[in-house]
Amino acid sequence: GTWPHERLKIDGVVPDPDTVGKKYEWRKMPLLGTQFRDNAVLQAGVPITIWGSAVHDFGHEAEGEAVIKFRFAGIEKTIPVAAGPSIVSLGPGQTRFPTGKEWRVTLPPMEASAEPKTLKVTFTIDGEVAHERVCTNIVVGDVWYVAAPQMKLKLPAVKPSGGMVRVMTRKAKRSASPKPSRYSVAVSRTPKNRFASEWRNAADGLAGILGQRIHAKTGNPVGVIFMQNTVPKGGTNPELKSWIAADHLKQAPSLMEDCRELAAVLPGNPYYDANARRYVAAWKRYWGEYIPRMMATKAVPDGVAWGSYPSLASSVTTEAAQTYNVLIHSFTPGSVKGFIFLASPEVFTEDRGANYGEQLSVLANGWKARFGGPDPHFFYTIPSKELAPKITAAKQIRGKSTSIAVDQWPMTSAQVLRLIEQVVKEVYE
């Protein structure tokens, strides 16, 4: 006989409903973006876009009629996944797959409030629940995104805020990837994995102090998304280009070579077409020359490692966009009050600051565009001429921006505290 297609039934054992059927098949669906989870802080006073994936974790669409039901703060929406104004198609370079599909709901501006709210999003296939997320204790206040290098700081302790100041940090071991990480900072996109970023009550550190100082001024909830890059053993903090989205690199003349390299692996441009021709030719050589020579000589030719194959990405050596892919991409779109970008000394090692103004302008404008919403304030550090003799000013940043002078590497605790005070004074006084 043949093996039964249905699951085996064992007498006396009732299977857990979460281990069978659609709920099991769709259990890893990234139905919500990184920041939308328990204890989240949403930005007050501006439209808020809440979003997530409308397809399976493996990138394929549901077979059957797929519908997303959304409920938050008295607003309810039913979104057919097939098409409509709430469905957005993603192209190459936006997810780890060639294409994707997301749902997005934009809410009208809400007043700051510590009253807890619940977000419920349900994904059904032919009326059957396949995946559901319920996020509780969500509040509305000011949200800040802070990007920082590895730094050794000794900052004063933070008093407990009673949940009024909340911080989301990177728990994942990585902070960079050649491929865009759309729905999670961690590799796994399941919300309960141990490396998932979570909203927690503020503890010590830069983010906690910033949040406390803002809360002291406003009396409202504060959320700080604090994303600090890792440094590999024996490595350094990433260059500035690593924090810039791949499709924004072309706006910086000094980064055109990096742009061309990354374009070569994304369909829809001449660099990709040329790379694809090279790739096809490499496979023809592989079967037409490499394999016959190896069979004839019973040896791997040219000292090439055994098991190596032609690759479409073999021409890519740049690390541009890799930090953006992990630490920024999964938070966009997302309404924020402002950004703080702390540049590391390594940003200025190669060109001593000559391209800083140009590249930082592209970074800031790109972040503002991707996060969206009314003009968020962009704060950034800029070293003195003693530290970076060829330093250039970021004159092309659109909208609100403020440079904060740094006269010492690495940044000291006193410098960081002064920076926080400057941010609070400029925005809240």
Residues 76-106 pLDDT 10s? 999 999 988 999 999 877 888 878 899 999 9
pLDDT value of residue 294 = 76
Is the confidence at residue 256, as pLDDT, over 60? yes
Q: Which tokens is 254 given? A: 């000094």
Q: 11 by DSSP, 3-state: which?
A: coil
Q: What is the mean pLDDT of the chain?
A: 89
192/30 Cα distance (integer angstroms): 11
415/261 Cα distance (integer angstroms): 38
Q: How confident is the model at residue 160 (pLDDT cuts 50, 70, 90)?
A: confident
β-pair type (199-201, 165-169): antiparallel
Is the confidence at residue 74, as pLDDT, over 60? yes
Least confident span in 21-35, 149-163, 373-387, 399-413: 149-163
Residue-wise pLDDT for 176-230, tens only, equals 998 899 999 988 877 778 888 999 998 779 999 999 999 999 999 999 999 999 9
Is the confidence at residue 7, as pLDDT, over 70? no
pTM > 0.85: yes or no? yes
Is the confidence at residue 6, as pLDDT, over 70? no
397/358 Cα distance (integer angstroms): 9
334/118 Cα distance (integer angstroms): 18
Q: Which tokens is 313 given? A: 């990405």
Q: Can you tell me the mean pLDDT for 29-54?
A: 97
Q: Can you tell me the mean pLDDT for 143-147?
A: 98
Residue-wise pLDDT for 376-421, tens only, equals 999 999 999 999 999 999 999 999 999 999 998 888 999 999 999 9
The share of the chain scoring above pLDDT 70, in percent, equals 89
* Residues in the chain, total: 429
Least confident span in 72-76, 216-220, 257-261, 268-272: 268-272
Residue-wise pLDDT for 235-249, tens only, equals 899 999 999 999 999
Other beta carbons less than 10 A from residue 395's beta carbon: 10
